[in-house]
Amino acid sequence: MATETERKTGVEALTSGAMAAVWEWVQSKIPDGLEVFDAHAHIGADVDGRTMTAEGMRERMVAAGVGRSIVFPLNDPNARDDYSGPNEVVWNAYEEHPGFFVPFFRLNPHLDYEAEFDRCLERGFRGLKLHPVSQKFELDDPRVVRLFAMAAEADLPVLIHAGFAMERIVEPLLPTVERLPNLRLILGHSGMVEVLEAVRRFEDHPNVLFETSVVRAKDLYVLFSTLDPSRISYGSDIPYGDFPSTLHATLAAADAAGVPDEALPGILSGNIRRWFP
């Protein structure tokens, strides 16, 4: 059962009243029969008080017509040393709701991460999430660079928070991207603070995807105006974003930038789905 707070911020509340026409437009842009794939969402609890249950997430997906979501922990107050507790919450969500979730695990690069990395790989997690702001590290920290190499070696996609509150994204990341062409990287929030620089530096690296959740309108427009749409994937960042608003933001920016409708199935689903068949 979803909690009362979750219901109030649920899809129904965001698609009725003044939002009804907006949601109708969103629906008209989503090709018939397309199963939307959300590349960025959270399950668990955050130190800032936000929470999202697997049930609440699933309810939102069903209500919004979203077929699958990549899910990983928040900045969890119970993470302690190795994130194993919050990672298990995500794993349980994956097992209890077959077909809905693609489970990513989270780590703190400052602490011993090797055992949890190996455990999660063994468990069957499909990717790794890293958050340079919450866990206070730079993307060129040797411990992080080593983690990227471990992920590349294990053929494990990595989603990094590359947005709000960050100062250095492209410059510290570029050497890793150049050195590890097989590393599959999802730039959460599209490198929002320096999106144009991110596009310029990473456009020739096909294993780098740009994810659209909670990116400022101007930056989303720049992204869709400058980058091949096959490199862009929709994300919600639930519980910070929501499906109606993030779908609208993504589709409206694509529309304003003149992205052809034929590219929408890729942006909403196919570009990321090919990594998780």
Interface residues with Zn ion (CB under 5 A)?
Answer: 237
Cα–Cα distance between 212 and 259 in angstroms, integer?
A: 15
Preceding amide of 239 cis, omega within 30: yes
Min dist CB 179 to Zn ion, Å, is: 26
Min dist CB 237 to Zn ion, Å, is: 4
Residue whose pair of structure tokens reads 């100062």 in the numeric block: 167
Min dist CB 238 to Zn ion, Å, is: 8
Nearer to Zn ion by Cβ, of 104 and 202: the residue is 104
60-76: string of b/e by CB count within 10 Å (b at 16+)? Answer: bbeebebebbbbbbbbb
Residue whose C-beta lies closest to Zn ion: 237
Min dist CB 52 to Zn ion, Å, is: 11
CB 3 within 8 A of CB 53: yes
Nearer to Zn ion by Cβ, of 184 and 189: the residue is 189
CB 191 within 8 A of CB 216: no
Nearer to Zn ion by Cβ, of 29 and 216: the residue is 216
Nearer to Zn ion by Cβ, of 116 and 237: the residue is 237
Residue whose pair of structure tokens reads 């055992």 in the numeric block: 115
Nearer to Zn ion by Cβ, of 109 and 163: the residue is 163
Min dist CB 48 to Zn ion, Å, is: 12
Min dist CB 72 to Zn ion, Å, is: 8
The burial class, CB within 10 Å (0-12 / 13-18 / 19+), for 182 is: exposed
Nearer to Zn ion by Cβ, of 103 and 259: the residue is 103
Cα–Cα distance between 39 and 62 in angstroms, integer?
A: 16
Min dist CB 261 to Zn ion, Å, is: 28
Nearer to Zn ion by Cβ, of 66 and 259: the residue is 66
